[in-house]
């Protein structure tokens, strides 16, 4: 099973940049999308269906044109879970899960901490999310959580760890949380296969950052420990240019 996660920074804008052709050529079994910035009825879903994804699910923010997640599937899942049931987490459309017989796959868009109020919200969300996942794993042990975590874990995951040490996304409290999240029973699938530096998933639009590869690795496919033997491959796909992020893939063998 090939699973790709992609923060598209606006699904409609990405589709105007060739996203649908990329999807048709890449052919993941499941695509987890973040930052859709659209409701389903605002998207030309016929193009997504024509690309081979008749099963597509959307969980949008209450605020139009903001946040939102989606999952596109080649095969119909046996269950779709919209949100977490926790109002303070769900009003911005940040969690969506599909369950198959072998695996459950979540598209996650963790908040950014762009100012003090948003950082407080992010830290609250992180704590609630950890508790939610601790409970979910009891029923869904074969869990893959794909998405934009808005956190770099280690210095290797960011182009300038010294200058960014006080910037949200690389704050000690955020790094500690994601480290503890992994320790709670997950595998950072990319790092499982690749220990090399200079591998990023997001670049600022400023200062020609992407061309100079001055990026951050803030997107992850976190795979629950029971699936370790099923891990086959994990890669970042920086050749896709529909967003300020790029897609990243994990393959599981069942």
Is the separation of the CB atoms in 21 and 14 below 8 Å? no
Is the separation of the CB atoms in 245 and 7 below 8 Å? yes
Known catalytic residue at 101? no
Q: How far is CA 217 from CA 133, 146, 150, 214, 245, in A?
A: 22, 13, 9, 10, 9
* Phi-psi sector, 227: left (phi>0), alpha (psi -120 to 50), beta: alpha
Other CB atoms closer than 10 Å to residue 13's CB: what's the count?
14
Q: What is the distance, to the nearest Å, from the Cα of residue 241 to the centroid of all Cα atoms in its chain?
A: 16
Is the separation of the CB atoms in 168 and 122 below 8 Å? yes
Out of 29, 87, 139, 148, the active site residue is: 148
Partners of residue 104 on adjacent β-strands: 99, 143
Gap between the Cα atoms of 244 and 7, Å rounded = 8
φ/ψ of residue 219, rounded to 5: -110, 135
Residue closest to 21 by CA, chosen among 241, 244, 245: 241
* Catalytic center residues: 148
């Amino acid at each position: 099973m090939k699973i790709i996660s992609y923060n598209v920074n606006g699904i409609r804008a990405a589709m105007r940049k060739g996203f649908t052709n990329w999807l048709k050529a890449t052919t993941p079994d499941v695509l987890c999308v973040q930052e859709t910035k659209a409701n389903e009825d605002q998207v030309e879903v016929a193009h997504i269906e024509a690309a081979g994804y008749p099963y597509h699910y959307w969980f949008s923010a209450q605020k139009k044109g903001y946040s939102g997640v989606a999952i596109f599937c080649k095969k119909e899942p046996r269950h779709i879970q919209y949100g977490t049931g926790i109002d303070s987490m769900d009003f911005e459309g940040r969690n969506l899960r599909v369950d198959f017989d072998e695996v459950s796959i979540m598209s996650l868009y963790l908040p950014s901490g762009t100012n003090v109020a948003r950082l407080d919200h992010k830290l609250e969300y992180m704590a609630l999310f950890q508790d939610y996942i601790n409970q979910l794993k009891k029923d869904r042990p074969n869990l893959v959580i794909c998405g934009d975590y808005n956190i770099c874990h280690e210095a290797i995951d960011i182009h300038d760890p010294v200058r960014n040490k006080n910037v949200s996304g690389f704050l000690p409290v955020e790094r500690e949380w994601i480290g503890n999240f992994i320790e709670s029973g997950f595998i950072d699938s990319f790092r499982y296969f690749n220990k090399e530096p200079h591998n990023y998933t997001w670049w600022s639009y400023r200062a020609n950052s992407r061309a100079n590869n001055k990026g951050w690795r803030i997107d992850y496919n976190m795979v629950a420990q029971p699936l370790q033997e099923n891990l086959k491959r994990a890669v970042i796909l920086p050749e896709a240019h529909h967003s300020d992020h790029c897609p990243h893939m994990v393959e599981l063998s069942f």
